[in-house]
Chain A
Amino acid sequence: MTQLPATTDKKLGLVIDLDTCVGCHACVTACKGWNDQGYGAALTDQDPYGAEPSGVFLNRVHSYEVQPEAGPAQIVNFPRSCLHCEDAPCVTVCPTGASYKRQEDGIVLVNEDACIGCGLCAWACPYGAREMEETAGVMKKCTLCVDRIYNENLPEIDRQPACVRTCPTGARHFGDLGDPDSKVSRLVAERGGFELMPEQGTKPVNRYLPPRKKDRPQEASLLAPLLDIKATGFAGWLDKLLERI
C-alpha cells in the first residue's frame, strides 16, 4: 500500500561519517556483491567490458572539494544511497503498490512482482536512490540489506547491511534512529549529524556526520629562525645591488 505509515515502530537507517570515509568504494562493491545474489532481480551491467559500460548500483561514492572562506580546500568523500525517508515521495507516487514503507522498521522496499517499471518513483526521489534494472524492467533500491539484518543463518556480527559490515574505516553505522538512546542516535547528537536536502520535505532517516575541524596549521614554522637567511659577503653585496636596480 502506497499510503505511508503515520509512525513506524523503529527507524532503521544509516549514519555515514564524512570525516572517516576515505572514498575506497568498498561499500559500493560489497552492496553490489550482496544484492546481486539474493533478494530480487540481479543488479545487471550493460556493456561491462565495452566502450560504454553502465550498471545498476544502490550506493555510489561521490567526491567533493569544499573551499572554506579561508584556508586550503578540503576533499570530502560522499557515499549516496537511499535515506529511507519518513515522508518518502517515491512510495506515494507508485501506481501499483509495489513501493512501500514498512510499519515495523521504516525500511522502504520495492515488491518487484508488482513493479511495472514506470520509473515515476525514481523521478520523485531527490537523492537518486533508485535505479532501473533494465534487464528485468523493475526498480531497484537499497533494502538496508533486509535479508541480512534479520537473517538468523548468519553469524550475529554479519547481521548488518553489507556496506556497513565491509567499511574498512568504520565510517558507516547502522541502527535505530527512532530510539534516542541507540548508538547511532547518540553519534548523531554528539557529532551534529545532519540530513540531506531538508527543503525537499522528505524527512530522511539516514544522517551524515560532518568532517571534524582540521587541526590548525601552526602559525609560524619551528624552523622560522633558520629559514630567515641573510646573505653575507659577496652574495650580500650582490643582493643589495640587485635590490637597488
Chain B
Amino acid sequence: MHPAPSVIVFTVLSGLGFGFLALLGLGIADPKGWPAFWLWGLGYALAAGGLTASTAHLGNPQRALLAFTQWRTSWLSREAWTSVAALLLLAPCALGDWLGFDVPLLGLLGAALSALTIFCTSMLYAQLKTVPRWNHFSVPLTYGLFSLTGGAILAGTGWFALLCCLALGIALVWGFRAGDLRFAACGSTLSTATGLGSIGSPRVFEQPHTGGNYLMREMIHVVGRKHAQKLRVIAVLFAAVLPAPLTLWPSPLTIGLAVLLHLTGAFVQRWLFFAEAEHVVGLYYGKR
C-alpha cells in the first residue's frame, strides 16, 4: 500500500496525542496551573494536528462533515464521532487543571473516548480483508500500545512508561512475524482471483495497460521493501528500546529526548506498516 505522508502523520501524531490526553484525563499525569495549560495544549495540538493532516489526502475535504453520518457501518465515521467527543469532553478537565477547579467523571469518559478513537483508527486498517497483513488483531494492539507508550513517555511516568516500552517492543516484533504469515493464510491467489485454477496454474501473460494507474500506485507499492528488515530493527530500537532507559529519570530534557526517539521509531514503523502491506488486487497484476 502507498505510504501517504498525510496518513502517516495523522496516525502517528493523533495516536500520540490521544494517548497523552487519555493519561491526562485519567489523572495519571496531573499537572496544575500553567504547566497544565501547556501540557493539555500539547495533547490537543498533537491530536487535532493529526486529524487535520488526515484531511490532506481527501479529494474533497470541504465535504468532510458528511463523514459523521455513517457511524452504523463505517469505522471512519465512528472515528470522527469519538475523536470530536473526546476533545469536547476533555476540554473542561483541561480548564480545571489550568484554573484550579475539579471536574468529576468527565476525565474518565474523555479517556475512554480517546482510547476508542485510537481503536477506531486501527480498525480502519484491521477491518480490510483485502490487506491480509492488516486484517489481524495485532494491528489494534500495536496502535493502542503506541498511543499508551507515547503518552506515558510524554507524561514522565517512570516505571509505567518503561513497562509500556517493553510491551510495545514485544508487540512490534511479534506483529512483524505474524504479519508475514497473513497473506498466505488468507487463501487468495491468482487461481482464486481469476477462477482459472481448475484448468491449470495461471500466470500473467500480458498486463491490461502499459502505463500505471490508480490501483497500481495506491495498492501495489513496492518501493523500499528491500530495506524492510533493517527498517524493522530501526523501528523497534527507536520506538521502544532506546527511549526505555530514559523514562526512568524523567526530566524535561530526558522526556524530550525520549519522545523524539520514540516518534522517530513510530514514523519508521508507520511507513513500513503501509509499505509492507500487500493488497490482494496485486494478484491480478502478478505483483504484490
What residues of A have a CB within 8 angstroms of the CB of B284 in the complex? 62, 80, 127-128
A199 with B200: CB separation less than 8 A: no
In the bound complex, CA of A18 to CA of B198 (Å) = 13
What residues of B have a CB within 8 angstroms of the CB of A114 in the complex? 63, 66
Q: Does A89 belong to the interface (CB within 8 Å)? A: yes
A116 with B281: CB separation less than 8 A: no
What residues of B have a CB within 8 angstroms of the CB of A97 in the complex? 66, 69-70
Q: Does B280 belong to the interface (CB within 8 Å)? A: yes
A92 with B192: CB separation less than 8 A: no
B130 with A200: CB separation less than 8 A: yes
A62 with B208: CB separation less than 8 A: yes
With known contacts A66-B200, A80-B284, A114-B66, A199–B187 Cβ distance under 8 A: yes
Q: Does B104 belong to the interface (CB within 8 Å)? A: no
Q: Does A174 belong to the interface (CB within 8 Å)? A: no
B67 with A69: CB separation less than 8 A: no
- CB within 8 Å of B: which A122-141 residues: 122-128, 131-134, 136-139
Q: Does A78 belong to the interface (CB within 8 Å)? A: yes
Smallest CB separation, A76 vs chain B (Å): 6
B201 with A66: CB separation less than 8 A: yes
In the bound complex, CA of A208 to CA of B198 (Å) = 13
Smallest CB separation, A142 vs chain B (Å): 14
- CB within 8 Å of B: which A88-142 residues: 89, 91-98, 114-120, 122-128, 131-134, 136-139
Chain B residue nearest in CB terms to A65 = B205
What residues of B have a CB within 8 angstroms of the CB of A137 in the complex? 58-60
Interface residues of A (CB under 8 A from B): 1-3, 18, 28, 52-57, 60-69, 73-76, 78, 80, 89, 91-98, 114-120, 122-128, 131-134, 136-139, 194-201, 208, 210-211
12 A-B pairs within 8 Å (CB atoms) are namely A2-B72, A60-B209, A64-B202, A118-B76, A122-B214, A128-B284, A132-B214, A134-B214, A138-B59, A197-B188, A199-B187, A210-B195
